[in-house]
Structure 1
């Protein structure tokens, strides 16, 4: 269904590339389809991996707060900052690592 979903343009581009290749069967169109498919797969993998990292970041902070009920706001802020920095480093590493 088309309803303004953020994935709609990428899916539409993939479908156009597939349709174009199916009608022409040229090597150039096959390469274009492979490139568009690779981008879509990479984007989905990055979204899933960063989503998992984000959940781990949040759970780690929640675990710290639960295990340290008397922690000061400064201590909690330091724990949050530490986890956010680790999350950002993981995302940056994922973005800079080639998928294929």
Structure 2
């Protein structure tokens, strides 16, 4: 399993559109094959910046999602709202303390 972090920055006036759409599709993303966890974060100092944080079983699962009609719909809608280029990282958990 690995973690995918995606940073997205929106025009302030587009945040309600993004949130409305995210709330409509979040369960579909979470239920994509191989997805084990999904969270959305908003930056405390810059409310235009959001991060998705998701756990995926395999890189193939993430790639299958990225090639899906769901992702195409989500990304086609979302990228129109950006005010900066998105960034993404795939990372492995090294240490976790509870």
User: When the two structures are superposed, what TM-score results if normalisation uses the length of structure 1?
Assistant: 0.28
Larger Rg belongs to: 1
Which structure's residues are more often helix, by fraction?
A: 1
Which structure's residues are more often strand, by fraction?
A: 2
Q: Using CA pairs under 8 Å that are at least 6 residues apart, name the structure with larger relative contact order, 1 or 2.
A: 2
User: When the two structures are superposed, what TM-score results if normalisation uses the length of structure 2?
Assistant: 0.29
